[in-house]
Copies of this chain bind each other. A is one copy, B any other.
Amino acid sequence: MNIDHNFETLDPQDWEQSKALMHKMVDDAFDYTQHIRDRKIWQEIPDNVLNTFKTNLPKDPSNAEEVYKELQDNVLPYPMGNVHPRFWAWYMGGGTISGVMGDFWASILNPNLGGGNHAAHKVEEQVINWIKEIVEFPKSASGLLVSGGSMANYSGLAVARNVKAGYDIRSEGLKENNLVFYASTEVHSCNTKAVELLGLGTKGLKKIKVNENYSINIDALKQQIKEDKANGLQPICIIGTSGTVNTGAIDDLQSIANICKQENLWFHVDGAIGAIAMLSDKIKPQLKGIQQADSVALDLHKWLHMPFEAGCVLIKDDVAHKDTFSLIPEYLAKNTRGLASGENWFSEFGLQLSRRFRALKVWMSLKEHGSERFGRMISRNVEQAYYLGELVNNNKDLELIAPIGMDIVCFRYNPGGKTLDELNAINKEIKLQIEERAIALPGYTTLNGMYCIRCAISSHRVTNEDFDALIKSVLSIGEEIIVS
């Protein structure tokens, strides 16, 4: 077929020129990643750059090369910082080149993982099977790759609501306003958001006090369920966390499993941070009981270092899963042959219809690195957390504020003789100056009123020397602040 080369499309007008630009991008991107340590982990965006983000919708074309120059000048120098080894804020993965390669091909091939009979669908099925293996779920369980932990938890809780309400809540809607989920006070906020959106209201998630190690207090949980039942409420689900975002605490999943069995409740595990640590000998024993969950939420863009986004939900009862989300109108009716065939389409197991081929980066990465290497990376982070903990414990001006959970260390500078308010102000300033001087990007949180520097050590690039540098900076900046 003859194609008119003046026929306007969104394809490159000059393929060779466009390809040359992409090759240049590859060189630059590899240089960027390989030498990430030499780049500033974070810096303030100056006003003249900020102003470039305020221009109106571009109506006319520009050269792709010029657009790329804008990216280099105005975006690249002002990163979030999480690719850098010294990023310990919030909880994120660092990305990988193999993940980038997978994402690149996902964008080129650009299939829609809503469903259908094509290879990408099989790749996602395989990836989900692998994740079941990791979490020791049966092959009969169902699963879905989702945007991240928030959506994974949302999906698990939605199925829990529909299964345990005791009536056809999907078609009839919430009849009584008395369904209750349970979790510890340390549960991630996305679970609260999920329960609110599911129509139960904030009050539909009861938060149970924690033990000194920040794991859920099992006795208080039992007591609350008993009281609620006596008061006419209907407990439907317990959310166990592994581990918590503040301190990396892991709930006693085995005890929660037992309660759920006894009380006929759905057992959901928010394992956004820690479920993938089933790959690590160091953490796996602490996750005992996860195998008995009805649903597990995982994040693969955290401790598996996939480029955003990659979350996963697994549901043991595949029928309940499908019954919550499947909806097939005439324009999605399936065929027995061809592209539109196949029994289980991913769109029948979640909120999304169109879905990116996010499985490909996971598939390529797990094949290239092998699961055991990921396990070793996780174990090393745990060791590094204890290394940092020792540095803190060995210095009289520093103190741990919580037990080290998994890879999370919460500590503060405390040279003595300061009030709580003063200590909070000093530590807040230390954290900000470490960031503004581009030394590192520690996180922070507040535990029992104490502001602390919180390091979530999830980088696969970080070394012990980075923590030496952190401690040195905390102490010197702390002293500067006190003197000034």
Q: Which residues of B contact A96 (CB under 8 A)?
A: 10-11
Select the stretch in A220-228, A349-357, A472-480 that faces chain B: A349-357
Other-chain contact of A443, B74, B101, B331 (Cβ < 8 Å): B331
Q: What's the least CB distance linking A415 to chain B, in Å?
A: 23
A172, B203: Cβ atoms under 8 Å? yes
A219 at the interface (CB under 8 A from B): no
A119, B354: Cβ atoms under 8 Å? no
A122, B67: Cβ atoms under 8 Å? no
A299 at the interface (CB under 8 A from B): yes
Given the known A-B contacts A90-B112, A110-B307, A337-B436, are A30 and B34 also in contact in the complex, defined by CB atoms under 8 Å? no
Give the distance in Å from the alpha carbon of A98 to the alpha carbon of B17 in the complex: 13
Given the known A-B contacts A189-B327, A331-B454, are A100 and B108 also in contact in the complex, defined by CB atoms under 8 Å? yes
B104, A100: Cβ atoms under 8 Å? yes
B201, A169: Cβ atoms under 8 Å? yes
Q: Which residues of B contact A112 (CB under 8 A)?
A: 80, 82, 90, 92, 308
A130 at the interface (CB under 8 A from B): yes
Give the distance in Å from the alpha carbon of A331 to the alpha carbon of B325 in the complex: 32
Q: Which residues of B contact A192 (CB under 8 A)?
A: 327
Q: Which residues of B contact A444 (CB under 8 A)?
A: 333, 340
Q: Which residues of B contact A29 (CB under 8 A)?
A: 104-105, 108
A421 at the interface (CB under 8 A from B): no
A465 at the interface (CB under 8 A from B): yes
Q: What's the least CB distance linking A471 to chain B, in Å?
A: 15
Q: Which residues of B contact A63 (CB under 8 A)?
A: 368
13 inter-chain pairs at a CB distance below 8 angstroms, sorted by A residue, are A22-B104, A58-B370, A61-B370, A64-B101, A64-B364, A71-B105, A71-B364, A79-B118, A80-B118, A80-B339, A83-B108, A172-B201, A197-B197
